[in-house]
Amino acid sequence: MHAARYYQQALIDDVMSFWQGGGRNCLGVLPTGGGKTFVFSRIASLVNQAVCAIAHRGELVAQISTALAREGVRHRVVGPAALARCCTAAHLDELGRDFVQPNARIVVAGVDTLIKTDPSEPWLQQIGLWIQDEAHHVLQDNKWGKAAKLFPNARGLGVTATPIRADGKGLGKHADGLFEEMFVGPTMRELIDQGYLTDYKIYAPPNDLDLSSVAISAGGDFNHDQVAAARKKSRITGDVVQHYLRLARGKRGVTFDTDVESATKTAQAFREAGVPAEVVHGGTPAAIRADVLRRFARGEILQLVNVDLFGEGFDLPAIEVVSFARPTMSFALFAQQFGRALRILAGKSWAIIIDHVGNTLRHGLPDAARVWSLDRRERRGSSRPNDIIPTRVCLNVACNGVYERVHPSCPYCGHTPVPAGRSSPELVDGDLHELDAETLRRMRGEVQKLDGMPFYPANASAEIRGAIAKNHFIRQRSQAVLRDTIATWAGWQRSLGRDDPESYRRFFFHFGVDVLGAQALRSADAEALAARIQAQLDKHQVVSHG
């Protein structure tokens, strides 16, 4: 058995404590590549109950089966005989032993096979724990929810990297899902900084993809047929090959495409450019798909052009490059696809992400801190929260790097964009150093008025003067709290090695107001902003030493 990483063990402990306290269904959240399959396989080995682990595709059944085998857990596979043979072959190849046992109390099943099972089957009553991978799919009234309901005597565990849905539905039992509690592990950025995932570089070459007439489906993503048609009208196929050769020649990559026809053309364009490439999709026979993946892992194939196959749950550490040729409105799908390239691989300094369809600009960076919830959320055009820092594409045509707008210059090549103007904080992303002198003078004047004595209109009565003085004092008191909180936040930013221009920009994007403008807010707004800043400080355990 492999030793659990510290955060994996913490998640395991949280889940077990939840059940010991009487809880029924819970959700565990770890970033793509963080080891969710390991966590639930370890839990399955620890509970003294019959368990059913549920996956939503055949290749993920085999992946879960192998993870259980690594833990020494014997199990049976519910599905076609060919799938069980595939699991056995994987065990023998990696471990030298077969852990598939027809009468085992641990079961691995694909959801589509499972929901066809007769509910009167005795083994369904014996299951004490169901586990669902990619559990952001699980709703009360869909096939994943129906699969869970087949086990009347079972508790539940779901795991996902992205507990959010493009349709805005909530995963909580009180909303649209099944889960009572959620346990969130470290962020993608934290795992990168700690060396558990590879860092990345993003490039976004110009594209001519026109999505203006593409509708949004009921599920919250682009209409499949319409986006495929828009994709065919673009020059993305040639761009994918050209920019792979420019940025990542010789590296193993996965291209996410919209449909089989486009994927076939993209793979052919790669081969014509001398890059060994194959197409894989849901209709590719399992034996052929397995052979293609083995050749890819050995470096005999350098490009896998896929359609809706490697986005969720797929584990292939050999991936060094991800190319986006499919736009999506789903942050969950975007983050899952992005994360395919982040697994550690010997000799890989960083992952290369080439975004031809604007996904990064649409959603922000996938490792930005997000606050997850089991509640429903208002459905919007993007699942990006308001305080996620927007990104910019470098205008240097030799670069096209993508970076957060907290950086005044491109961190890849040093190119500095010129702002459209310097007469308001919005034009310079809140960076006070970039404002013109007259704008700064005016803004400072507003702050000085607040800091000075109250202004009384001529001939104001004593009662009116008293009310003005009281309101002015309350506003000054609220501002004193806010400014102390801002000072703590600024000190925290400096401790992280960030200079003032970057800190000003981060403040502006996180809180929606520039630092100087915040110091002239009225009482209610100042108090609300101070509470938001304090919440972030508390989240990161930042304490003022002033």
pLDDT for 7-26, tens place per residue? 999 999 999 999 999 999 99
On whether both 432 and 363 belong to a single domain, the answer is no
Provide φ and ψ at 51, rounded to 5°.
-130, 145
Give a yes or no: residue 311 inside a domain. Answer: yes
By mean pLDDT, which of 79-88, 238-247, 501-510 is the weakest? 79-88
* Residue where a domain terminates, one of 186, 221, 237: 186
Q: Please indicate, yes or no, whether residues 451 and 321 belong to a single structural domain of this protein.
A: no
- Does residue 98 sit in the same domain as residue 143? yes
Q: Is the model more confident about 543 or about 188?
A: 188
Report the run of H or E that residue 13 belongs to, with start and end.
helix 6-20
Same domain for 283 and 142: no
Do 57 and 175 have their domain in common?
Answer: yes
Q: Are residues 241 and 122 in the same domain?
A: no
Give the residue numbers spanning the domain of 97.
Answer: 6-186
Q: Is the domain of 399 the same as that of 440?
A: no
Does a structural domain hold residue 412? no
CATH code for the domain of 143: 3.40.50.300
**Contact by Cβ (8 Å): 175, 169:** yes
Q: Kindly state whether residue 501 falls inside one of the protein's structural domains.
A: yes
pLDDT at 103: 87
| Confidence check: pLDDT of 157 > 50 | yes
pLDDT band at 67, cuts 50/70/90? confident
Give the pLDDT of residue 75.
92
With respect to residue 373, please indicate whether it lies within any of the assigned structural domains.
no
Inform me whether the pLDDT recorded for 378 exceeds 70: no
Tens-place pLDDT, residues 264-280: 999 999 999 999 999 99
Q: Which of 141, 164, 186 is the last residue of a domain?
A: 186
Over range 138-153, report the average pLDDT: 96
Q: Does a structural domain hold residue 348?
A: yes
Instruction: Say whether pLDDT at 544 is over 80.
Output: no
Contacts of 324 (CB under 8 A, 6+ apart): 256, 337, 353, 354, 355, 356, 357, 359
Whether residue 96 is found in the same domain as residue 11: yes
Q: Are residues 492 and 518 in the same domain?
A: yes
Task: Say whether both 310 and 354 belong to one domain.
Answer: yes
Same domain as 41, residue 119 = yes
Q: How far apart are the first and last CA of the chain?
A: 48
* 470 in any annotated domain: yes
169 within some domain: yes
Q: Which of 26-30, 297-301, 534-538 has the highest mean pLDDT?
A: 26-30
Total domain count for the chain? Answer: 3
Q: What's the confidence (pLDDT) of residue 54?
A: 94
Are residues 253 and 390 part of one domain?
yes
Residue 67 domain-assigned (yes or no) = yes
**pLDDT tier for residue 382 given thresholds of 50, 70 and 90:** very low
Q: Residues 196-205: what's their mean pLDDT? A: 96
Across the beta sheet with 200-203, the strand order is: 200-203, 351-355, 321-324, 253-256, 303-307, 277-281
What is the 8-class DSSP label of residue 178?
Answer: S
